[in-house]
Every structure is written in C-alpha cells, then in structure tokens.
Amino acid sequence: MSKKILLDKINIEGIKSFDVYRANGGYASVEKALKMAPNDVIEEVKKSGLRGRGGAGFPTGMKWSFLDKKSGRPKYLVCNADESEPGTFKDRYLMEFIPHLLIEGMIVSSFALEANLSFIYVRGEFRWIIKILEQAIAEAKRAGFLGKNILGTGYDLELVVQTGAGAYICGEETALLESLEGKRGLPRIKPPFPAVVGLYGMPTVVNNVESIAVVPWIVLNSGEEYAKVGTAKSAGTKLISACGNINKPGVYEIELGLPVEEFIFSEEYCGGIANGKRMKAVVAGGSSVPILPTELILKTAAGENRLMSYESLSDGGFATGTMLGSGGFIVYDEDQCIVRNTWNFARFYHHESCGQCSPCREGTGWMERILHSIENGHGKMSDIDLLWDVQRKIEGNTICPLGDAAAWPVASAIRHFREEFEWHVMEPKECMNRNYGLREKSIMSIA
Amino acid sequence: MLAVKSGKQVEFSPAAMDRAREIISRYPDGKQKSALLPLLHLVQDEFGNWLSVDSMDYIARLLHIQPIEVYEVATFYSMYNMQPVGRFLLEICHTGPCEIRGAEELISTLQNKLLIKVGETSADGMFTLKRVECLAACGYAPMLQCGMHYHEFLDSEEKIDRLLNDLRSKATQNN
C-alpha cells in the first residue's frame, strides 16, 4: 500500500461525525497553527511544494504569499468545490466521507491568510453534500473551533457554504467569485488577480478542496516531511478519480510518481480493462487535457515509463504528452469511438461556454457541429483541417482557460487519431454502424 | 425564456422566511446580493420546482435589487427550471464518461418506459426527462439526479424499473 495522507482515516467507522474525527486526532492542526504566526503557516505550505489540486497545479504556498495583507482590507478564503470537470469526482468523495478534514483545513488556511469570513462554494447539484458540510460546520462551531475567539486565541472565523446552480464555468476562480457575488459566472480579466482584487473587490485566495484538505497534515508534520513524499517536482499524494472502461472505477489516493501502467492494471487501483478488452486511449486529467493513445500514456516518446506526476505526464509537451490536470482519469477500451467522444466533449464545452469571448462562444459551437457531422457520416476530408483551424484560433484567445480546455481535446484527438476521423469521412456507412455499437446494443447487454 | 407567470401569490411560509433571513445574514453588510443563488434555490423548492416570473420578482423585492438582475442570473444557470416540470425531474448525465458506460441506453430505456422524449413530462405529470452535463459521478455511471439524490450504476432494466417504482410509491405516500 502506498502512502495515505488524505484518506488514511477514511475507513474509520463514524469518521463523518465530529466526535469520532476529533478522537482520531482531528483538529490537532488548528490547536498547533493558532499558536504559530500566520505567515509561518504560509512558510510551511511553501516548503511543502504543494501544487494546486484543482487542475492548474500552481504552487499553493506561492499563491498564498501573493495575498495583499499590507493594505489592511478584509481578506477572504474561498474553497472551490464546484467540481465539474468531466472525469473528476474526487472532491465530492472527500466532502462526503470525511467532511471535517475540509473544515479543519479551512480553519487553518483562513488563519494563515488572516481571513475572518471564508466560503466553500459547492456545485448546486451536490445537495446532500451541502447538508453534510453545514452539519460539520455546526459541530465544529459547538466545539469552539469556529466562531468568535477560537480556542481562546482571539481569532474569529465564520465559515459559509455557498450553493452554485449548475455552471461548469464557475470552477474558473474569477467566475466563481462573480457567482458568489450573486451574478452570472462570467470570468474576469486578469490582472488584477484575486490576491489583490477578489471577492467584493478585496484580497482573496481561491483553492481547490483537495489542496485545502492537505494543509492540516502539512501543519502537523511540517512542509519538509510533505516534500519527501512523491517526486522532486510533484510533492505529496494526489486523489485520482478513475472511470471509463476499467474494472474498478473509484477514487484512489496515489503517491505522485506511481507508474501509469501500475495504476491502470494493478489490483490495488483500476484493476485493468473491463470485459477482457484492450486499452485504446486515456484522458489522464479531466476532459480538458489532451487524450493519449495507449503507447504514449504508458511510455513517453523517449521510451521511459510514464509516471503519475506533473512532470512525467507533461513530458513531450502536447506533441506526445498531456497533463495531470484535476486527476480525472478516463480510460477507453478498443470499442470506443474517438470521434464520438470528441464530439461529446465539444458539445459539453459549447454548452458550458459563458459566451463572453467570441472565439469560444462561436468556436465551441462550430467544433460541435463539424464533429457531429463527421460522426454521423456527413463529413468531408476538409472538415478535419477546418476543425484543426478552429481549435487553433480559440486557444489562447479567450479571457479564461475554458477556450483552451475546449481546444485541447479536439487538437489531441486529431493529432493522435487522425486516421479515425478520415475513416469516418471515407466510410460513412460503416462508421454509422460502428459507434461502439450504440445503435444495435440493447440496454441488457451493458449490465 | 421567461414565458410563464405562476398566477399564484408567491410568498415564503414563516419557516422558509426564517431560512431566507438566515441566508441573507451570512454576507457582509451591503453584499446581500450574494444570497441570490441560494434564495433562487429556496423559492424554486418551495414553489413547484421551477421559477415563475412571480417567484423571481419576489426574490428581487426581498434583496432590494432589480428584477432583471434576477432574470439574468436565473437564465444563466442550468439548475433553475424556467418552465414547470413534473413531480420528479430526472436529470440524466450524458457527458463522455457516462456515455461510454451506457448513458444513451439509460435515456432510451427511460423514454420507452415513460412514453415521453427528453424535455417532455409524462401524461400523469409524474416525470420530466432532462439531459444534463457532467454531474461528477463518472465512476458510478450511468446515472441520473432526482432532487436531493444521485441514482448511480443504472445499468440494467431491472434497476431502472425499481427506481421508477420507488419514486411512484413515494408520490403516493406523500399524497
């Protein structure tokens, strides 16, 4: 078994409740941190090498150190629990099964950032999780870990669970802040960054659930200890939500640096490909990151074993590599149609584009229509080049990264599976019958 | 989009009003508009699982903001229903990871059993079918959301039948 930092207590019976969580060492990091200077807590997180677990991988400690503390304005910490990246369902797991870990992390992190009002922005569909978190907050408050004068130290903190309402774009941090202010989730132009002008125009840090949930361990065990786990450039462990055509879909905590092959095929993790099929492709970090064919996800272009780490997954750039992203790991077997999957993702991004920037608003719809046409046997060879052209003109030309996120799956599908697109164009009748058998398959055969 | 007035007087019950006041009190002074999304959920839950113009205007008055500030938000987010829906709104995820584990089969089975298409409500007013994008249940596909709950691994006719029967009997018990 590899090292567990986030999920080491997940199997303790009743760990969802405050009493059991506390009896198993919970909230000890609050007791320790509140005796430290806030900036010393930030230093520990810096030393840990922790990188943001939402997808971008930006160093958390550095993000914290950018927060404008000098101007004396109110500061806010906002936890991004708007988990919506296709393939990603890890934060949900943490919040549902060990909610106090996030609450503990929020208290310690808020203290480090000198925030007295902090928010957890949860996607609205997670209605039962919102209840779980509100109950956990009430329990922590009764025990004196939230509210006025926490543990007699003079530090005050209120924690609010904010409900989203169904919009992928609100996972982008400035769209999230707009939404939290009661507006449409339209991303803001950066700079200014939230660290200077964030929620209500005040200095704000936005962090992913998993990033915040790691902070208690770092405070208790030190940043140096955390940095010893994983690889030099990818410190620590990461939650990976594995799905698709595998035997054991679910959420796994891995030590960064684990070989991809071991993750997919060992019994400890995904347990191999379902139904005795062969693997065709993998999307390693949520729908936004480039899809890779089997040979490139298992080995880099240089022939080295591909590892589950930021640097190994991105080895080779977008020509032959991908990204760790959010840890949403989607495995495709030999029966899956890359054109259909790319169309499906293009439809997703078209649906979720906020409409602010024309390259994204128009381009995502254009890509969806072209892909739909190819997928349904009406495509022309020139459509493949047109598709390439459209995605290239979206990438880098939008306010927020949704444009890039929409372009990359299309670009990588064409880059690595161009012959499959061409086959759809040349053999429209055959491809109509082949869309992984959808048209013939009855509901019973998938059981 | 904002086609329908409810024709009903929209006003929170005392219990719902307590809840609304508690929500509004969470934010710093002058930032009460932050309560808009939670209050729209509340008014939707209280008045038939959709947002009439009357409901939205009521929230605008409660927060002292213009109705247009409510409409633009309500129409932006996918969870607010801008038209009446059936007793149970079945929201089926059809994004990639669910699709490769049988989302389309789930949708066609539901359509056949309920004799409606996606976007329609069954004749008895019991079920409405809706396609939605990723609900973060990719490892437990195929799945749908109904109200508070996710129903996952709906990969056989038997499981789908059981879910529909459970919901029907829930409706009878509550009546």
Task: List pLDDT tens digits, range A253-285.
Answer: 999 999 999 999 999 999 999 999 999 999 999
Q: DSSP for A63-123, please give it.
A: HHHTS--TT----EEEEEE---STT--HHHHHHHH-HHHHHHHHHHHHHHHT-SEEEEEE-
SS3 state at A37: coil
Average pLDDT in the B33-53 region?
97
Report pLDDT digits (tens) over A357-413: 999 999 999 999 999 999 998 999 999 999 999 999 999 999 999 999 999 999 999
CA–CA separation, A337 and A342 (whole Å): 9
CB contact under 8 A, B37 and A163: yes
Residues forming beta bridges with residue A254, ordered by sequence position:
A238
Nearest CA in chain B to A274: B101
List the single residue in A with minimal CA-CA distance to B156. A447
What b/e readout covers A196-213, taking b as 16+ CB neighbours within 10 angstroms?
bbbbbebbbbbbbbbbbb
The average pLDDT across B69-84 equals 97
Residue B13, pLDDT above cutoff 70? yes
Rounded to the nearest 5°, which phi and psi values hold at A221? -105, -5
What is the per-residue pLDDT for B145? 98
Supply A159's token pair. 């924690």
Percent helix, strand and coil across chain A, each to the nearest 5: 45, 15, 40
User: Which amino acid appears at position A124 of this protein?
Assistant: G
Residues with Cβ within 8 Å of A381's Cβ and at least 6 positions away in sequence, in order, are: A422, A425
B-contacting residues in A 347-406 (Cβ below 8 Å): 348, 351-352, 354
pLDDT at B9: 84
**Whether A160 and B26 lie within 8 Å, measured CB to CB:** yes
Check residue A46 and give its pLDDT.
98
Q: What pLDDT is attached to residue B3? A: 56
Interface of A with B in 24-53 (CB under 8 A): none
The pLDDT value given to residue A429: 82
From B73's Cα to the closest Cα of chain A, the distance in A is 5
The helix or strand, by DSSP H or E, that contains position A214, with its residue range, turns out to be helix A209-221
Which residues in chain A are classed under CATH 3.10.20.600?
237-333
Q: B8 vs chain A: nearest CA distance in angstroms? A: 24
pLDDT in tens, B48-62: 999 999 999 999 999
Residue A138 in contact with partner chain B when CB distance is under 8 A: no
* Cβ contact A77:A207 at 8 Å: yes
Element (H, E) at A222: none
Distance in angstroms (rounded) separating the CA atoms of residues A235 and A64: 17
Beta bridge partners of A281: A293, A332
Q: Are strands A76-81 and A117-122 parallel, antiparallel or unpaired?
A: parallel
Helix, strand or coil for residue A180? helix
Are A288 and A262 spatial neighbours (Cβ–Cβ below 8 Å)? Answer: no
List the domains of chain B with CATH numbers: 14-74 (1.10.10), 88-174 (3.40.30.10)
Instruction: Say which CATH topology domain A338-434 has.
Output: de novo design (two linked rop proteins) (1.20.1440)
Local confidence band at B138 (pLDDT 50, 70, 90 cut-offs): very high
Residues 6 or more apart whose Cβ sits within 8 Å of residue A40: none
The CATH number given to A18-228 is 3.40.50.11540
Across all residues in chain A, what is the average pLDDT? 95
| ipTM of the shown complex | 0.96
Range 65-94 of B in CB contact (< 8 A) with A = 69, 72-73, 76-80, 94
Q: Can you tell me the distance from the alpha carbon of A205 to that of A187, in angstroms, rounded to the nearest whole number?
A: 15
Phi and psi, residue A132, nearest 5°: -60, -45
pLDDT of residue B172: 87
Contacts of A241 in chain B (CB under 8 A): 138-139
| Token duo for residue A426 | 């040349």
Task: Name the nearest CA neighbour of B135 among B92, B99, B175.
Answer: B92
Angstroms from A123 CA to nearest CA on chain B: 9
- For chain B, give the secondary structure using H, E and C: CCCCCCCCCCCCCHHHHHHHHHHHCCCCCCCHHHHHHHHHHHHHHHCCCCCCHHHHHHHHHHHCCCHHHHHHHHCCCCCCCCCCCCCEEEEEECCHHHHCCCHHHHHHHHHHHHCCCCCCECCCCCEEEEEECCCCCHHHCCCEEECCEEECCCCCHHHHHHHHHHHHHHHHHHC
pLDDT at B7: 66
Contacts of B86 (CB under 8 A, 6+ apart): B121, B122, B125, B126, B127, B128
Residue-level pLDDT at B4 = 64
pLDDT in tens, A66-109: 999 999 999 999 999 999 999 999 999 999 999 999 999 999 99
Residue owning tokens 């904010």:
A162
Of B134, B148, B156, the CB nearest to A84: B134
Cβ of A56: how many Cβ atoms within 10 Å?
Answer: 14
A408-446 pLDDT per residue, tens: 999 999 999 999 999 999 988 887 766 544 434 433 333
Q: What is the pLDDT of residue A352?
A: 98
For residue A286, the number of C-alpha atoms closer than 13 Å in the C-beta half-sphere is 27
Token readout for B41 is 């959920």
CATH 1.20.1440.230-classified regions of chain A: 338-434
pLDDT exceeds 50 at position A135 = yes
Helix, strand or coil for residue A305? strand
- Residue A156's identity, in one-letter code, is D
CATH tag for A237-333 (out of 3.40.50.1820, 3.10.20.600, 1.10.1660.10, 2.60.40.1930): 3.10.20.600
Task: Measure in Å the smallest separation between the Cα of A392 and chain B Cα atoms.
Answer: 22
Cα separation, A327 vs A204, in Å, equals 25
pLDDT tier, A447 (very low <50, low <70, confident <90, very high otherwise): very low
Contact B79 A328 (CB under 8 A): no
- State percent of chain B over pLDDT 70: 95
The minimal CB distance from A352 to the residues B28, B133, B145 is found for B133
Return the residue of B nearest to A351 by Cα: B133
- A297-348 pLDDT, tens digit per residue, is 999 999 999 999 999 999 999 999 999 999 999 999 999 999 999 999 999 9
Residue % of chain A over a pLDDT of 90: 93
